[in-house]
């Protein structure tokens, strides 16, 4: 039997995704950011499961699903209930072609040692591939701009795997309002979840509100501002969320690390942050932060003013020949 978790997973609030479907309000990211290898990330997932996490954001491109799968298998053997853990994975850009989505998910399920995932995402809305760990100037000459028809061909495959019972929910990631306006009316099965970059200095208010108006739950990536992100995702004008005066003031008032202010803000705003850390001290305090000592209404209001339009994951490695700059990816 698994020993009792330090934080009772039943005390972590959930958001509803529809009849009988819900998602914990905070999860753990699993992208090692070119810095932490599969063993370290898998060890953190094991520790997080023991501590009480019940949501994990995985992806085939993170290159660690086979190790994380061993952790899940052991946890379920030791008594953690499969239906109490929400497991996400994503199809990478090089697997959008005919038949590829099922193929990709089959490999993910084998690696994660699962019969189904709780949500399967299209990681980026175009098939533009770059080698893992490439530098920021790398370009693939085969890259193409967003095409609604091409995307819908991929989405039809997503709908098929949903019908096969291999995923409980479908998701899209790295979308924009204008792409969603084109795509959503054409979806037979609408996404239950959208994953987007979201932290105090980059709140994506229009996209966030748009998703909520469509009953789509938002998962926020880089919720702390990704201080250890890969070099290719760093630009001279970037701001550090944990150093913003609005964040620092709330942190001082609560006597907590500014990272935890970012997470409380995300959850109280109604989104699901998926912070990453391999360090127990950090991932434990991250989970605890959402069940105690909430921010006040005035602090939440002050944090809306932390917006600096600071996109960190610009995606420039996915640009196609003839594109002017990374802004083209985001309409
Ligand atoms: N859909 C997509 O395209 C996409 C893109 C990017 C990311 N993601 C997902 O989002 C997850 C999170 O993104 P991210 O890792 O880039 O950014 P993040 O969670 O904002 O930042 C992670 C960093 O924050 C630090 N940290 C975490 N908890 C902390 C705490 N309590 N106090 C102080 N520092 C703390 C960690 O440092 P230490 O290592 O020192 O603990 C870690 O390196 C990823 O793992 C991935 O699952 C998805």
- Tens-digit pLDDT profile for residues 237-256: 999 999 999 999 999 999 99
- Ligand 1 atom closest to Cα of residue 282: 31
- With 80 as the cut, is the pLDDT of residue 89 above it? yes
- In order of their start, the domains of the chain are 9-330 (3.20.20.100)
3-state secondary structure 181-219: HHHHHHCCCCCCEEEEECECCECCHHHHHHHHHCCCEEE
Q: Which two tokens stand for residue 14?
A: 């959930």
Q: Which two tokens stand for residue 322?
A: 């003839």
Stated pTM of the model: 0.97
- With 90 as the cut, is the pLDDT of residue 93 above it? yes
- DSSP for 311-330? -S---GGGPPTT--SGGGGG
**Ligand 1 atom 42: residue of nearest CA:** 277
Neighbours of 207 (CB within 10 A): 21
Is 230 near ligand 1, meaning CB less than 6 Å away? Answer: no
Q: Residue 78 in contact with residue 50, Cβ under 8 Å?
A: no
- Ligand 1 pocket test, pick from 68, 257, 275 with the greatest ligand atom count within 8 Å of Cβ, gives 275
Is 65 near ligand 1, meaning CB less than 6 Å away? Answer: no
Residues forming the active site:
62
Is 274 near ligand 1, meaning CB less than 6 Å away? Answer: yes
What are the pLDDT digits (tens) for 8-25?
Answer: 999 999 999 998 899 999
**Ligand 1 atom 15: residue of nearest CA:** 276
Is 275 near ligand 1, meaning CB less than 6 Å away? Answer: yes
CA 94, CA 140: separation in Å to the nearest integer? Answer: 12
pLDDT (0 to 100) of residue 33: 82
């Amino acid at each position: 039997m698994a020993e009792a978790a330090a934080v009772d997973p039943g005390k972590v609030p959930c958001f509803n995704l529809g009849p009988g479907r819900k998602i914990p309000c905070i999860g753990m990211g699993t992208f090692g950011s070119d810095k932490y290898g599969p063993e370290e990330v898998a060890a953190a997932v094991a520790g997080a499961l023991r501590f009480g996490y019940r949501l994990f954001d995985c992806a085939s491109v993170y290159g660690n699903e086979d190790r994380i799968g061993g952790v899940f298998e052991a946890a379920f053997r030791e008594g953690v209930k499969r239906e109490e853990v929400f497991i996400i994975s994503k199809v990478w850009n090089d697997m959008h072609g005919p038949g590829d989505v099922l193929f990709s998910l089959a490999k993910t399920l084998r690696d994660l040692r699962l019969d189904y995932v709780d949500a399967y995402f299209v990681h980026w809305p175009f098939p533009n591939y770059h080698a893992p760990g490439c530098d920021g100037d790398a370009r693939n000459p085969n890259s193409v701009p967003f095409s609604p028809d091409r995307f819908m061909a991929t989405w039809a495959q997503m709908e098929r795997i949903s019908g096969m019972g291999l995923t409980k929910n479908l998701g899209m990631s790295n979308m924009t309002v204008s792409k969603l306006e084109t795509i959503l009316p054409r979806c037979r099965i609408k996404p239950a979840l959208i994953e987007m970059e979201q932290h105090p200095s980059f709140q994506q208010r229009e996209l966030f509100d748009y998703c909520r108006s469509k009953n789509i739950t938002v998962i926020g990536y880089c919720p702390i501002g990704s201080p250890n992100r890969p070099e290719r995702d760093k630009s001279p004008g970037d701001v550090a969320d944990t150093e913003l005066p609005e964040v620092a003031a709330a942190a001082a008032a609560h006597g907590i690390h500014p990272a935890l202010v970012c997470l409380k803000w995300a959850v109280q705003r109604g989104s699901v942050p998926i912070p990453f850390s391999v360090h127990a001290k950090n991932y434990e305090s991250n989970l605890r932060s959402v069940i105690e000592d909430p921010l006040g209404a005035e602090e939440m209001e002050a944090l809306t003013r932390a917006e600096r339009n600071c996109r960190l994951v610009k995606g420039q490695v996915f640009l196609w020949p003839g594109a002017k700059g990374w802004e083209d990816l985001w309409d």
